[in-house]
Chains A and B, each alone.
Chain A
Amino acid sequence: MSGYMGKILDVDLSRNSYKILDLDMDMAKRFIGGRGLGAYLLWERLPAHADPLDKDAPLMFLLGPISGLLPGGAQLCTFFKSPETGVTLCHSIVGSHFGVELKSAGFDGIIITGKAEKPVYLKIFDHDISFEDASHLWGKSTFNTEKILKKELNNHRVKMLSIGIAGENGVRFAGIQHDYYHSAARGGSGCLMGSKNLKAIVVKGSKGFDVAEPEEFYKVYNKIFEMLKRARTEERRGYYLVRWGSSAGSMWHSDVSELDVKNYREAHWEDIDKISGFEFERKSKVKNRGCYLCPFSCMQLGVIRDGKHAGRTATPDFDSTSTIGAGCLVTDHDGLIYLNSLGDELGIDNISLGNVTSFTMECYERGIITKDDLGGIDLTWGNVEAMEALWNLIVQRKGIGEILSLGVKKAAETFGKGAEHFAMHCKGLEFGAYATQAKHERGLQFAVGDRGGCHHYGLTIKEQNHRVMADSLLVCTWHRHFITPDIYMDALNAATGFNFAHSDWDLLAERFLILARAYNLREGIRPLKDDILPLRVHNDPLTSGPQKGAVYPIEKFKKDRENWYKIRVTNLINRFKN
């Protein structure tokens, strides 16, 4: 067995039992791992139209053949049917060290079904697996859960995934946290994990990794390492990732008018400098932290140096600070860093949470909801204290938090009074921090993405293929700017002994994408009815910035969408012909 470890851990929490399954290599060759394998397993294991929070709904943590083996291969893919959208499949990727530790314990994935009677955590020390009582951890934040478990196990090398209070209480967009600041959060993985009464998964492995053709593999390895190392200083994206992390991206997204500002009403913000990566470097940055084997180490660890929250550490990146920052017009840097860290601590998807918050702010501004509805919170734009108070309601699911914890789609349906117009989601998943009035390709991406309003689907056909392949091989999608598909295919072949041609990259990618689309079709998603954008994108032109007046007209959107279907279908037909 090379590349893969050859085992999948199949856990049934209802019976407190587990099986160690052999990885079917034919299946592995067809679906590789991560997002590809996940779509297949979800199709097989969950009956059509099942409730995403059904106790037998699987929550999968999947690896790929080259994850843990080369720089960038630190990712872990969580795969499940999304409790937030209720219909679509969902994957959520988390980096750092859990993936490699799981691989080193000898597994290519964990499939969790069932529901534990009382809170448990799963302990995986190589093939020694146990279900441990987690009553003392229930109600604890993700940070405290990590601290307590590390202390209890007296091990500074264990890696864990945990959920916070949001996941325990069933907030639909709750996430799973790993290593304090890394999240697999989109689509509600934490909600599903919480519904299973599973507080955490702790893993520690001691196995080494074999590859099929070591000489060849380490040659490719070295090439990738050298390319990334060079990119640290010589490539624009590499340099800024190392120095400021992705949160600096909010500045250039604002410059080209594609940043979520004020609940996607605007796309350019003159105050962006107050909260962006540059400001973070000046005020808070302490050091870089990185995922396993990555020479970039783009996670920027910082600390709030004074004020109410002095001493609190945080690791802001673009995704986790954009919708809660510019999206809610927060200009207080330390406040934003605090909120960012608080979101991680509560175990919640900061992207969706920011959307929900800015949506609620707009509802409040427009008088759709009142101060009384909000339990006395004066939820004005940029009010950090009010945001924190609202978040507490959301994670506790109290008062208006009960409605908001279901996401903007359901909240807009409940509020009515035209709130749907600016409920920024697609298929129930909130937008991923990009305003689309001026950048139409970003709008199209949100509309056609398989997990909903997801900014990781890819802007072009090529990027979509690259992203789905990266998420299946489980390598970092950021590295797509530096490493070409051919190199990854060489690494895949050398690691596993498969004989894929370079051109199989697109074949595999299309297979995974069509499978995901087929799954959504099976669950009732209809392209023309559901691949749509909220009305704000079509009807609310930008009022400031270089792209003032820009809008994504609905006719153009429909044409773009049709064009996209055509390209995808033509590609598919050509595949069958050949």
Chain B
Amino acid sequence: MDEGKGYRLSGRNMEEKIIKGFIDVNWKLCTGCRLCEQACSLYHEGKIWPEASRIFILQFDPGPIEIPILCHQCSDHPCIEACPVKPEKAISINKKTGAVVIEQDKCLGIKCGRCAKACHHETAIRFHPETNKAINCDLCDGLPECAWICPSGALSFLPGQTFDGSHYAKRPEKIASDLAYQLFPANKLETDKRRDV
């Protein structure tokens, strides 16, 4: 994504020092307000466009509880491996930020969709509602807007790469059922059923 296309609500600019790192998600704290989606789409699309956001909130029962989904920058990169574009793959690692980025010009789009299927998270790569090209979290070129705006503390930017992001990258259903198990200990009826998901 070209720098300067959208708005940074945080007012930060690229002169700030970029540190490699990733976005930490504390699912328990997410209120489902979707400010992250909105800040994300403002930076990437130049307008509020929840459906074109790189981070997105899914809602699950019981609760309901909301789970933010985004690319966790796994080190084994199954998405890059799956990309069939030749000679140079459409997905690569940005050297400056360490983020997985998808080159929109090269991407074959939703008809291919192999990267999305390969994802450990299964949902972190989605498709742009207008162009149908694959989109994912590119850490806003190193200064993630979602982590800046999140008012509840569910999202924060963790500088440095202490451990592999793939530890986060579970199926959303699994995250939701684990969270429900933790949050609603008495909720035998629903959570026990869902533990097997």
Q: Could you tell me which A residues sit within 8 Å of B by CB distance?
A: 68-69, 71, 97, 100, 104, 147, 150, 156-157, 179-180, 205-211, 214, 218, 221-222, 225, 229, 232, 286-295, 297, 301, 303-306, 310-313
> How far apart are A289's CB and chain B's nearest CB, in angstroms?
5
Q: Given contacts A207-B49, A208-B48, are A287 and B35 in contact (CB under 8 A)? A: no
- How distant is the Cα of A290 from the Cα of B41 in the complex, in angstroms? 20
The reply to whether A97 and B7 contact each other, CB–CB distance below 8 Å, is: no
Give chain B residues whose Cβ lies under 8 Å from the Cβ of A292. 33-34
For chain A, what secondary structure do more than half of its interface residues adopt (helix, strand, loop), or is it mixed?
loop
| B149 CB within 8 Å of chain A | yes
- Please tell me if the beta carbons of B34 and A293 are within 8 angstroms of each other in the complex: yes
- Does A214 lie within 8 Å of B50, measured CB to CB? no
Say yes or no for B129: interface residue by CB 8 A criterion: yes
| A232 closest partner in B (C-beta) | B151
Q: Which residues of B contact A306 (CB under 8 A)?
A: 186
Nearest CB of B to A461, in Å: 33
Across the interface, A289 reaches (CB within 8 A) one of B32, B42, B46, B61, namely B32
Bound Cα distance A71, B151 (Å): 12
Among A100, A287, A306, the most chain B Cβ lie within 10 Å of the Cβ of A287
Q: A156-B58, A214-B7 are in contact. Are A206 and B129 (CB under 8 A)?
A: yes
Give 12 new A-B contacts, CB below 8 A, not counting A208-B45, A303-B183, A313-B187.
A97-B32, A150-B61, A179-B64, A208-B48, A218-B7, A222-B9, A286-B63, A287-B28, A288-B152, A289-B66, A295-B151, A311-B188
14 inter-chain pairs at a CB distance below 8 angstroms, sorted by A residue, are A100-B34, A100-B50, A208-B41, A209-B49, A214-B46, A229-B151, A287-B65, A289-B31, A294-B33, A297-B33, A301-B63, A303-B187, A310-B186, A311-B184
Contact call B33/A286, Cβ cutoff below 8 A: no
Q: Chain A CB within 10 Å — which of B41, B50, B129 has the most? A: B50
**Inside 8 A of A104's CB, which chain B residues have their CB?**
49-51
Number of chain B residues whose Cβ lies closer than 8 Å to a Cβ of chain A: 45
Best-buried of B31, B46, B52 by chain A (most CB within 10 Å): B31
Cα of A290 to Cα of B34 in the assembled complex, Å:
9
- The CA of A221 and the CA of B8, in the complex, are separated in Å by 12
Within 8 A of A (CB), among B41-92: 41-42, 45-52, 56-66
In the complex, what residues of A have CB within 8 A of residue B46's CB?
214
A305 interface neighbour in B9, B34, B45, B185, Cβ under 8 Å? B185
Q: Mark B1-44, 1 if CB is under 8 A from A, else 0.
A: 00000010101000000000000000011011111001001100
Determine if B9 and A206 form an interchain contact, defined as CB atoms under 8 angstroms apart.
no
| Residues of B contacting A150 in the complex (Cβ-Cβ under 8 angstroms) | 59, 61
Whether, in the assembled complex, B190 has its beta carbon less than 8 Å from a beta carbon of chain A, the answer is yes
Q: With A and B bound together, what is the CA distance between A295 and B50 in angstroms?
A: 17
Once the chains bind, are B149 and A225 in contact (CB under 8 Å)? yes
CA distance A69 to B68 in the complex (A): 20
CA–CA, A304 to B49, complex, Å?
37
A210 and B189 alpha carbons, distance in the complex (Å): 45
Chain B residues contacting A71 (CB-CB under 8 Å) are 35
Q: Does B172 contact A (CB under 8 A)?
A: yes
* Minimum C-beta distance from B27 to chain A (A): 10
The interface residues of chain A lying within 8 Å CB-to-CB of B172 are 156
**How many contacts between A and B, using CB within 8 angstroms?**
113
Cross-chain contact A157 with B64 (CB below 8 angstroms):
no
Q: Are B186 and A305 in contact (CB under 8 A)?
A: yes
CA distance A410 to B67 in the complex (A): 46
B11 cross-chain contacts in A, Cβ below 8 A: 222
A179 and B32 CA atoms in complex are apart in Å by: 11
Residue of A nearest to B38 (CB): A293
Contacts of B66 in A (CB 8 A): 289
Residues of B within 8 A of A295 (CB): 33, 35, 151
Shortest 10 CB-CB distances between A and B: which pairs?
A208-B49, A297-B31, A295-B151, A311-B187, A206-B129, A156-B58, A290-B31, A290-B33, A310-B186, A206-B51
Asked if B31 and A303 sit within 8 Å, CB to CB, the answer is no
- For residue A207, which residues in chain B have a CB less than 8 angstroms away from its CB? 49, 51, 129
Q: Is the CB of B62 within 8 A of A313?
A: yes
Min distance, Cβ A209 to any Cβ of chain B, angstroms = 5
What 1/0 flags go to B121-149 for Cβ under 8 Å of A? 00000000100000000000000000001
Is the pair B47, A211 in contact by a Cβ cutoff of 8 Å? yes
Complex Cα gap A68–B32 (Å): 14
Contact between A157 and B47, CB atoms less than 8 A apart: no
> Of the candidates A157, A221, A304, which one forms a contact with B9 in the assembled complex, judged by CB atoms under 8 Å apart?
A221
Contact status A313-B152, CB under 8 Å: no
Minimum CB–CB distance from B57 to chain A (whole Å) comes to 8
CB pair A180 B64 closer than 8 Å: yes
Q: With A218-B42, A301-B63 in contact, do A293 and B33 touch (Cβ < 8 Å)?
A: yes
Residues of A within 8 A of B186 (CB): 303-306, 310-311
B54 to chain A, nearest CB (A): 14
CA distance A256 to B132 in the complex (A): 58
| B38: A residues at CB distance < 8 A | 293
Chain B residues contacting A156 (CB-CB under 8 Å) are: 58-60, 172
Please, how many angstroms separate the alpha-carbon atoms of A268 and B18 in the complex?
58
Q: How long is the Cα–Cα vector from A104 to B50 in the complex, in angstroms?
A: 8
Q: How far is B52's CA from A210's CA once the two chains are assembled, in angstroms?
A: 14
Q: Across the interface, name the chain B residue whose C-beta is closest to A205.
A: B51
The distance from the CB of B135 to the nearest CB of chain A, in whole angstroms, is: 13
Across the two chains, which residue of chain A brings its CB closest to B52?
A208
By a CB distance below 8 angstroms, the chain B residues around A293 are 33-35, 38
Which A residues touch B33, using CB under 8 A? Answer: 290-295, 297
Determine if A68 and B63 form an interchain contact, defined as CB atoms under 8 angstroms apart: no
Closest to A292 in B: B34
Which residues of chain A have C-beta atoms less than 8 A from B51's C-beta? 104, 205-208
B184→A208 contact, CB < 8 A: no
Q: Which residue on B lies nearest to A299, using beta carbons? A: B31
For the complex, what is the distance from the CA of A311 to the CA of B181, rounded to whole Å?
11
A147 touches B50 (CB 8 A): no
A476 to chain B, nearest CB (A): 12
Are the C-beta atoms of B48 and A287 separated by less than 8 Å? no
- Complex alpha-carbon distance, A225 and B185, angstroms: 35
Q: Chain B residues near A222: list those with CB within 8 A.
A: 9, 11
Query: Within the complex, what minimum Cβ distance (angstroms) separates A497 from chain B?
Result: 15
Tell me, in angstroms, the Cα distance from A156 to B32 when the chains sit together: 12
